[in-house]
Amino acid sequence: MKKFYFCLLSILATMLLLSGCATTNDKTASVSIIYGTCAVLSLVLLVIYCYAIRQKETWFLLLFCAIFVANIGYLSLSIAKNLEEALLANRIVYLGSVFLPMSVMMIILKITKMHYKRWLPGVLTALVSIVFLITASPGYSDIYYKEVSFEIVNGIPTLHKVYGLFHDLYLIYILTFYAVLITLVVYTIVKKKTSSASHAIILSVAVGINIAVWILERSVYVEFELLAVTYLITGIFLLALHLMILENERLRALAEASANVAVVAEDISEDVPSAVSVINNTKTSVDVNSAQYELFLNGLTELTPTEHTIYNYYIEGKNTSEIMIALNIKENTLKFHNKNIYGKLSVSSRKQLLEIYKELKQTGNYPME
């Protein structure tokens, strides 16, 4: 897992270094190099997902394919020599771009385990396909672009467009999807559909960066399509979040198995004391306990300041009444904090919390205070 994250960070670092390419005298070459690098990185990301990730999701495959196709389109447009080539490249860009918001939306629904109607993917796919056909019409019809011409501006191939009626429909389509994505992110944060603040931040960046850049490019003239880079960032962040959630689920499953093993061991110990040592010496038990400790330590970093204060009071041996007086809070408020603390630390009670704390202290695995 760590190697995979290192690979993702390497891709991000490469993308940040792309800005240095734009200092060359030949703008066409520099822009093409950036688009070409984005296309290669998109392909690398797609290959990594196909061959390195065991649990594959259809929507991630669609997302990475869409990012790759869009970047191929941007690259093709940067080296176009005439109107026909530029329009073909423009269609390729739209082929990737129109499917990307839908993919992101379905991924968010998937990783946050939100329920949706079974017909939703089919309806959305049909809608997106119709939108693509409209955006691909220039050169055949004037419904999307009333007029379109080709020109090399400052060494960069450029399409000059006069928008038609259906272009407004495309804007409505994009803005609607963005509004839905923002709503999903806000709902996820408010309803705590993610298990930690870091997950919520990653999700917010993955969605917000594309929306911000899309608005920027329509407010300020930019020679380079920044979306070519932000598409990649979105894909990387969503994949990282997906893998983090899967890892947390794996650790939680191991922790639950640990609790079951402990119960079985306790039952057996009443009749056969030696059986306890046999169980405790098995590799499964060791792995499970390690997983529970890891969940506990990871959860400590996710505690809010108030939750951390309450946790420290428990460690100090304070009772409920003492904590309520010290923090000037009511019993229901303390119960609310307890629920969050137990959930983040993957424990079911204060007793289990203190037991794991003592075990970590005794083994020297508890972080320095």
pLDDT per residue over 330-347, tens digit each? 888 898 888 888 888 888
Phi, psi of 146 (to 5 degrees): -65, -45
Contact of 289 with 257, CB cutoff 8 Å: no
Instruction: Count Cβ neighbours within 10 Å for each residue of 158-167 and write b for 16 or more, e otherwise.
Output: ebeeeebebb
Q: How far apart are CA 11 and CA 1, in angstroms?
A: 16
Cα–Cα–Cα angle for 107, 111, 112, nearest 5°? 115
CA nearest to 247, candidates 206, 196, 322, 282: 196
DSSP letters spanning 16-80 = HHGGGGGGSS-HHHHHHHHHHHHHHHHHHHHHHHHHH-SS--HHHHHHHHHHHHHHHHHHHHHT-
- Per-residue pLDDT of 120-134, as tens digits, reads 999 999 999 999 999
Q: How far apart are CA 184 and CA 306, in angstroms?
A: 27
Handedness of CA 164, 170, 176, 179 (dihedral sign): negative
Residue 90 has pLDDT above 70, yes or no: yes
Percent of the chain at pLDDT > 90 equals 28
Q: Domain coordinates of the chain in residue numbers?
A: 2-248, 249-363
User: Which of these CATH numbers, 1.10.10.10, 1.20.1070.10, 3.30.70.2190, 3.30.70.520, describes 2-248?
Assistant: 1.20.1070.10
Q: How far apart are CA 61 and CA 160, in angstroms?
A: 33
Coil vs helix vs strand at 237: helix
285, exposed or middle or buried, with CB in 10 Å at 0-12, 13-18, 19+? middle
pTM: 0.66
Tell me what pLDDT residue 104 has. Answer: 92
Whether CATH 3.40.50.150 fits 249-363: no
Helices first, then strands: H and E counts in the chain: 14, 2
Domains 2-248 and 249-363 share a fold: no
Q: How far apart are CA 144 and CA 211, in angstroms?
A: 22
Residue 287 has pLDDT above 70, yes or no: no
Higher pLDDT, 270 or 77: 77
